[in-house]
Amino acid sequence: MRSVTASQRFEPWLFYGGSVALDFVNTLRDRATTPRETLTSPETLRVWAGQARLVPPESGFGVETSITDQDLSDCLDLRESIDALLVPQTALHSRHILLVNRWAAAAPRQEIDESDPELVITKMASIENVFGVLAADAISIIAQGEQSRIKVCSHQRCGIRFIDRSRSQQRLWCSMQRCGNRAKVARHAAGRDNKS
């Protein structure tokens, strides 16, 4: 197994996956080369959950709820199980399926708001509810037949997973602004070097 480098600061997480489950998988950056962990502490997990809009960013889960080191460990296990379940290039074992199914059962119930019947409320009371939403989202990708659309960014260092919802199914990059531009710059530089 490759070693994983921990990021020294909060990462500006990348939300290019097209689903919250893949955005969660993408919290392990640079999978294709030297994997870099962005969820390095219970606090970074709390911040990511806020930025992913799973909980209100300013309040987290409320003062009474703490995220423990065990929660962080469970989170990382769930993340790798979701990756194995959804991405064809990873080895899938029955333990991955069992773990995703177990966490999906922790997804919070959704309710229709009495004062606004068009508003659906999901109350996140704990980190387990967040894990439940992530696992349920992974299952819904399979249920909706989108698993075959999951791709890994073509940039040699990236490894970001995303759902290709383009008509032609030819998307190569996690983001044109990020890896697509890197590839264009590299091609341009290579062309310039060949002319010299």
How do residues 22-59 score in pLDDT, each as one tens digit? 999 999 999 888 999 999 999 999 999 989 988 865 55
pLDDT tens-digit series, residues 115-136: 887 777 777 778 999 999 999 9
The number of domains in the chain is: 1
**CB distance 174 to 158 below 8 Å:** yes
More confident of the two residues 183 and 106: 106
pTM of this structure? 0.84
What are the start-end ranges of the E strands in the chain?
Answer: 5-6, 28-29, 36-37, 110-112, 120-122, 150-152, 161-163
Residue 10: CATH number of its domain: 1.10.3300.10
For the chain, the residue count is 196
pLDDT at 176: 86
What range defines the domain where residue 175 resides?
A: 5-195
